[in-house]
Structure 1
Amino acid sequence: MSQSSDAVLERLTRLHPKIIDLSLGRIERLLSRLGRPDRRLPPVVHVAGTNGKGSVIALLRAMLEADGQRVHVYTSPHLVRFHERIRLAGEPVPETDLLALLEICEAANGEASITFFEITTAAAFLAFAQSPADVLLLEVGLGGRLDATNVIARPALTAITPVSMDHMQYLGETLPEIALEKAGILKPDVTAVIARQRPEAAAVIAARAAEVGAPLLRRDQEWEVVPQADGFRLRDGAETLQLPHPALIGAHQLDNAGQAAVLARRLGLPATAIAAGLRSVRWPARLQHLTTGPLVAALPQGWQLWLDGGHNAQAGEMLAAEAAGWSDPLDLVYGMLNTKAAADFLRPLAGSVRRLRAVAIPGEANSLSAEEAAAHARACGIAAAPAGDLEQAVAELMASAERPARILICGSLYLAGKVLAEHG
């Protein structure tokens, strides 16, 4: 019986279980053995940052596709299947293609040390080099400076979304240290579109840009987003565009939409394509209203089920800002990896949440236990208890409620992926 890509991916995980060790040496070696597919790619837009990378890429992809362009996309992690990480002209890489790519990379690497992300990034570059497209949207996996995607010597554009505290065990314990890692994607004479940053992060990015000679287009300086009732006004240099609200929910998505629109303009897109992309964009697990599946079917009249994969302080602040505008009570079902700062995510939400049920993320060795997750929530002043699984968590919240509520499943993209696989 022939093997599947899932079997190869699992074998790669087992063969290379090394702790993340950021370096470009291993992937450079493998790419050389593969004939340097990273040098045969369509024009690349390279995106780093802490929050919003996926949303900016989804928005820009929608704009480019509205203009009739073929767009390759590389993102991580996936929600349901690994194939989502590698999109060829808009579609997830086919199973037969992915299996062949993984086997080629595995054979080329041999017994050499390499991480899972590095070898799968090499497979993605091989896929992108073999299939024609107009643009490749490339998301940084972790950090920037030493991320496997940073072998691209001369992208068409770079972008840095808002930088905040995350992955401190790999990127540094302070915001300036983390910002310096993100700014590692800046390249000489390659324009970088920068989201609004905290002052200490902005200073580091500006200093790095001056050092390498990268022109910056910064939010609130070279470009500006002004919210309006029917959308937003984008000031880009001397020009102004009136654009519609993006189809993604949340006030923060206006910021992502503005950054994507500035990138789109640098790629030569007309305002009509930018507006069409804003209206058509889809990006699961980002304040997504769930409308199908057994969890939704079990909800009494008036209840709603929502899903968000955010997991750091900035994500908690964003969700709290949205919740402030909701009239119905907010209950949380929450699970988180033990590599994340649970209190930083939960603290901003404390004043908005009526009750919380904590769950372990199914199948994730690094998940907090339900009891640990609940303890973090109680320490932040949230009425919380552990639950055995998602179904039990939702049922308990409904059983003890005096009136209908909005239930938000949150805390991890890995948890969001499980929800979408089983209840989407």
Structure 2
Amino acid sequence: MVDTEVYYNQLQKKYSRRITLGLSRIKKALSLLNNPDLKLIRPCNILGSDGKFSCLTSLKYFIEANGQSTSTFISPHLYDLRSRIWLKNRFISLNEIKKYEKKISKLKVKLSLFELLTLIYVLAAAKAKCSYNILESGLLFKKDSSNIFKKPILQACTNINKQHLEWISPKTINEICKQKVGYLSNQTNIYIGKQNPKTLRIIKGILKKNKSTITYPSIWRIIYKDKNIYYKDNRHKISIRSNYIHSKGLIDNVGLAIKIALDQKIDPKLIERTIPKIKFEGRLQYLEKGKLKKLVNKNEKILCDGAHSNTSAQNLYNYLKTLNMPIYCVWGMQKNKLPNEFLKNFKGIFKKIITIRIPNEKNACSSIELKNIALRQNYNVDIAKNLKDSLNKLHSKEKKIIVFMGSLYWIGYVLKNN
């Protein structure tokens, strides 16, 4: 993985990591490459503010359990560049990434890093010839480099909320919805995931003239009965049993994937048998083994969650408040993710917060900045020099949960060091 890290750092210097919205560059590159995107069978777009990864991952599990193959493209990666691209039964190799990058660089088209990685995925997926090709969108969707298909088999939109406001004008939920669902294909099957009622009304208004077949979240529901959870629609009732899927938000994303899988004629019994196998790395994930686990007492649990928005914070809060033991936190976050508003969601949850700067992230808040935010909200707070120091400050024989949260980049760093 060291070689992969070195190479990724080289790519970040060669291609701008700065997000550059627009489709002209990637369309020009695709044209010069003889349009490999047209070779992708059953392309699928997954977009939204929160939940894209869990919806995509669930759908991938269901399709592969059905004996069909998938390629997937996610963003960002947590700790290994190769994990962005899945090809049938494996992740892309570093040699393949290098080979496709060399081919793309010869086009002399100025690309952002995200556009480059999208193109590498398209080239690799075209060669792999999978049954389904599933792409997670990056920022918004209107000018995202994953928005390259005229007739995708489906486009699914998970929860939309107020994120990435710095990229839009006016800075409203209406504009966010417009940029995400206002540019969906008119020749596809659109699936809308669970939404805030106001947001859903906005989405319906925007899609009023869209000619695609649209499935709204009222068609299916999640039922919580005693300690059991079920997906239910007019024809099916599927038990959702899992030791790995903990929050309502994640369950809703699984529900959306179930509805899509059913419409793709995947057997409901097969879906039910597959659900317990699904895991979401970095999303409410307990560390069961590894280097960090060895640094704490057997009574101490480590929970990693990449929550960085108000909506994902509320999902994490709702899960944490069900736990009957002391909870501590190690918090790292980026400046543009509204850390003050984010932390307000956890009132009464944490006995102590350790703040830390996310290593190698230019936009990361300093540990002092986060400490001051936590102090203003009356938290017991301390700062840590590094990851190991944060655990040293919380480690004891007390039975507890230590939550790492605030950023997927932070969680990626944690998992890499585990």
Give CA-to-partner distance per residue, 1:86-128, whole Å, 9 cap, x none.
10014110122111111111112x1x33211011101111111
Deviation at 1:277, TM superposition (A): 2.3
Q: Which deviates further from its counterpart, 288-297 or 329-338?
A: 288-297
Change (3 A) 1:189 1:58: same
Q: What's the secondary structure of 1:125's corresponding residue? A: helix
Residue of structure 2 in register with 1:169 after alignment: 166
Give CA-to-partner distance per residue, 1:254-276, whole Å, 9 cap, x none.
21111010010121111122112
Deviation at 1:252, TM superposition (A): 2.4
Give CA-to-partner distance per residue, 1:121-164, whole Å, 9 cap, x none.
01111111111111111100110111100011111111111111
| Residue pairs, 1:182-193, within 5 angstroms | 182-193=180-191
Residue of structure 1 in register with 2:237 after alignment: 241
Residue of structure 2 in register with 1:178 after alignment: 176
The one-letter amino acid paired with 1:212 is N
The one-letter amino acid paired with 2:40 is L
Residue of structure 1 in register with 2:19 after alignment: 20
TM-score, structure 1 normalization: 0.93
User: Using the alignment, how far apart are the partners of 1:253 and 1:419 within structure 2?
Assistant: 21
Conserved in 2, the CA contact under 8 Å of 1:311 and 1:340? yes
User: Using the alignment, how far apart are the partners of 2:105 and 2:8 within structure 1?
Assistant: 10
Identity fraction in percent: 24
2:413 is the alignment partner of 1:418: yes
Residue of structure 2 in register with 1:282 after alignment: 279
Residue of structure 2 in register with 1:142 after alignment: 139
Residue of structure 1 in register with 2:196 after alignment: 198
Q: What's the secondary structure of 2:292's corresponding residue? A: helix
Deviation at 1:7, TM superposition (A): 5.5
The one-letter amino acid paired with 1:71 is T
2:212 is the alignment partner of 1:214: yes
Deviation at 1:251, TM superposition (A): 2.8
Change (3 A) 1:420 1:292: same
The one-letter amino acid paired with 1:411 is G
User: Using the alignment, how far apart are the partners of 1:389 and 1:212 within structure 2?
Assistant: 50
The one-letter amino acid paired with 2:287 is L
Residue of structure 2 in register with 1:73 after alignment: 72
Give CA-to-partner distance per residue, 1:329-357, whole Å, 9 cap, x none.
11000101122111222111122111100
Say what the alpha-carbon RMSD is for the aligned residues. 1.9
User: Using the alignment, how far apart are the partners of 1:185 and 1:9 within structure 2?
Assistant: 31
User: Using the alignment, how far apart are the partners of 1:62 and 1:17 within structure 2?
Assistant: 33
The one-letter amino acid paired with 2:414 is V
Conserved in 1, the CA contact under 8 Å of 2:284 and 2:303? yes
Residue of structure 1 in register with 2:229 after alignment: 232
Q: What's the secondary structure of 1:265's corresponding residue? A: helix
| Residue pairs, 1:252-401, within 5 angstroms | 252-398=249-395
TM-score, structure 2 normalization: 0.94
Deviation at 1:389, TM superposition (A): 0.9
2:403 is the alignment partner of 1:408: yes
Deviation at 1:8, TM superposition (A): 5.3
Aligned residue pairs total 415
Give CA-to-partner distance per residue, 1:334-383, whole Å, 9 cap, x none.
10112211122211112211110011111212211111122222233322
